[in-house]
Amino acid sequence: VKAVVLDPRNDFNVDQTLTKKDVQNLIQLCVTRLLDTTNPSLSTIKMQVYFDMNYANRAELLSEQHRVLEGRLAPVVRDITDSRPRVQEIESVYQKIVSYVLLSSGLGSPTDIEVVREVTAGLQSVFPQREMITFISLSKKNKEQQLKNLAKLVTGIRLYNKECGKGGSSIDDLPAILNESIPSATQTVDERLNTCHRLAHQYTALVESMQEDQHRYTQLSSFKLKEALFNVRQYEAFLCILLSDAITSAQEVEKMKVQFAATMEQLKNTVQNKVSIDTKEVFPLFVALSNLWSGFQNEILLLSFLTDMTNNLQQFLEIQSQLFPEEVLTSLLEGVTVKSDEERIRETMGTRVNVSDFKNQEWLFPETTDNFDQLLIQYHGFCAHAIGVKGLTLPGNPAIGILKHKERCYVFSSKEAAYIFAQDPDKFIQLNIEKAKEHAELILLLELYHQFEYLAPYKQARNAGKYLMKPTTKCDSGTQTDTHILPPTIVPSYEWNEWELRRKAIKLANLRRKLTHAMQTDVSHMRRDNSTQVYLPKDVSTQTKRDNSSNVPRPQIFLEGLRGGSSSTTHMVKVDLTRPIDEN
């Protein structure tokens, strides 16, 4: 739909609401374009959509694979970490750990008894069953971490045993497989790239001959040569991405092979038929072997992905053989000189832009620019002049000079093209945009997304007679609106429920008979304020006794004659002088 709307030949105005007639016209144009199986432009767009939907770089692909593997192992991990087995069930949990180690390593089938025995033996050597009691007492996170460590240790032990010839018969020799697969995959991509290059060079020569000779234009105008050229160039760009990934994979494999061999040799020297070995010495080596082997497994996955992508992209090039069979293409090329991209660049290697001819333009050259090879070139490295003027994707030669215009870099296929473009860069940039409107596949091929951000509708641009669409000025602004303009009238303490009111009343009544206690510990002392609220004490007194007193006479009794007298007989006289009580 975007391709049809952008095409100026269809005369749509995107700023106006489409009428019912416009919608019907748009639907008809879209259906007609989708049913046109002889148009290479449709195959190119399909190829771009397929690649955009399915391609993933190394990091994305490995991350997705890791996520899928963890999802498959999640039920097993959950059974192990969440279980609280009794003594008679410990053996069952131990067997689940064996299954997890086997599945996470990907070395062998869980249904192979020999493989299961080998994994069990390796696990018992580093994690005997008697240690299950300690394992069960760990937290869930620690259990998961220990499971991963056990899986790596057992994998490293199995790889070491395979190297020593003591097991590992079910483990494939991944380095050897990669040594055969990577060159084969690279060769396949190279062969298809060569086919692309040949077709692109032939189509380019035919389009140039059309523009130079009117008779040839009449003869070849019925052929969709430009669309076919864009299809081949897009296929070539995608193959270059896949080839780069394959080369990166080959480099990673070579590094890992060296590291794997060195780690295995170090492990052999450490063990040397010893009866007992310090785990601190060998366990890191086993883990390193496991990590390197996981790297080999990742490269197998990446190589399989690249092979599938390469094979699936081939279907979008089949239209070339339908439109241009070998005999037809051979007859069309009679008398036409076909130049390769390398030959075109060699022809212009001796020419260079003279900077003094331009006062207000900035040109970049290898000897005057740092990181010259890493500059981001516009239009995927194609000549900025040939796209809009000739409708060709000619390779640009940076040695001629790179024009830096509005912080963007442009290359050219010849010195003449560079001079013409530099006289009015904005005009030719707009021409390239107009060409991309006619051929929507150029938007992705030439990486023109940023150019289409500020495009005005085609009718307005044509009526205004302007070629340059200036971007709309942007600025950051912000506003703030009060959440509640009027003061709130909500009473949070309001209750309409009678039973809720009764509950609060009972709660308050009970509170009068409660005591509040507070205390501080050594940890909280002097760190926070504590307060309690009690009912104030009231003074209450009672009278339990009455004080009274009385005054009685003091007794006064005298005895006479106790000391004796002249007579031999003592006569004692008692005299009571005490006053009576009732005496006033």
Lookup: tokens for 153: 């240790």
Q: What is the pLDDT, as a whole number, of residue 469?
A: 34
Cβ atoms of residues 381 and 395 within 8 Å: yes
- In terms of Cβ atoms closer than 10 Å to its own Cβ (0-12, 13-18, 19+), residue 236 is buried
Helical residues (DSSP H) of 165-224, grouped into ranges: 174-212, 214-220
Q: What is the pLDDT of residue 254?
A: 93
Q: Determine the 3-state secondary structure of 426 from DSSP.
A: helix
Question: What type of residue sits at position 21?
Answer: K
Strands 362-364 and 402-405: antiparallel
Where do the structural domains in the chain lie, given as residue ranges?
1-35, 83-164, 174-333, 341-462
In this prediction, residue 565 carries a pLDDT of 67
pLDDT at 467: 34
- At 478, phi and psi to the nearest 5? -150, 150
CA–CA distance, 510 with 246 (Å, rounded to integer):
80
Q: Say what the pLDDT of residue 261 is.
A: 92
Q: Would you say 158 and 168 are in contact if contact means Cβ atoms under 8 Å apart? A: yes
Pick from 223, 233, 228: nearest CA to 196: 233
CA atoms in the 13 A half-sphere facing the CB of 504: 8
**Dihedral sign, CA of 269, 107, 117, 78?**
positive
Q: What is the structure's pLDDT at 292?
A: 92
- In Å, what is the CA distance from 468 to each residue of 7, 181, 205, 444? 18, 51, 31, 21
Task: Quote the pLDDT of residue 472.
Answer: 35
pLDDT in the model for residue 7: 67
The per-residue pLDDT for 457 is 33
Q: Parallel, antiparallel, or unpaired for β 362-364 and 557-560?
A: unpaired
pLDDT of residue 463: 41
On whether the pTM is more than 0.85, the answer is no
- What tokens were used for 145? 């971490």
**Where are the extended beta strands (E) located within 221-370?**
362-364
> Is the CB of residue 235 less than 8 Å from the CB of residue 196?
yes
Q: What is the pLDDT of residue 528?
A: 61
Q: What is the DSSP string of 446-470?
A: TT-GGGGGSPPPHHHHHHHT-S--P
As a whole number of angstroms, the distance between CA 172 and CA 182 comes to 16
The class level of CATH for 174-333 reads mainly alpha
Q: pLDDT at position 465, please?
A: 41
Beta bridge partners of 558: 575
User: Residues 561, 567, 569, 571: is their CA dihedral positive or negative?
Assistant: negative
The tokens for 122 are 């390796």
Q: For each of the chain's 584 residues, which pLDDT tens digit applies?
A: 666 666 666 666 656 676 777 777 777 777 777 777 778 888 888 898 889 889 888 888 889 988 998 888 888 888 888 877 777 778 888 888 888 888 888 888 888 888 888 888 888 888 888 888 888 888 888 988 999 999 999 988 888 888 888 877 778 888 899 999 999 999 999 999 999 999 999 888 888 888 777 767 666 766 788 888 899 999 999 999 999 999 999 999 999 999 999 999 988 888 876 667 777 888 889 899 999 999 999 999 999 999 999 999 998 888 888 888 888 888 888 888 888 889 888 888 888 888 888 888 888 888 888 888 888 888 888 999 998 888 888 899 998 989 988 888 999 999 899 999 998 999 998 888 888 888 888 888 888 877 665 333 333 344 444 333 333 334 567 777 777 777 878 888 888 899 999 998 888 888 777 776 767 677 666 666 667 777 777 887 777 777 777 777 888 888 877 776 677 777 778 888 888 877 75
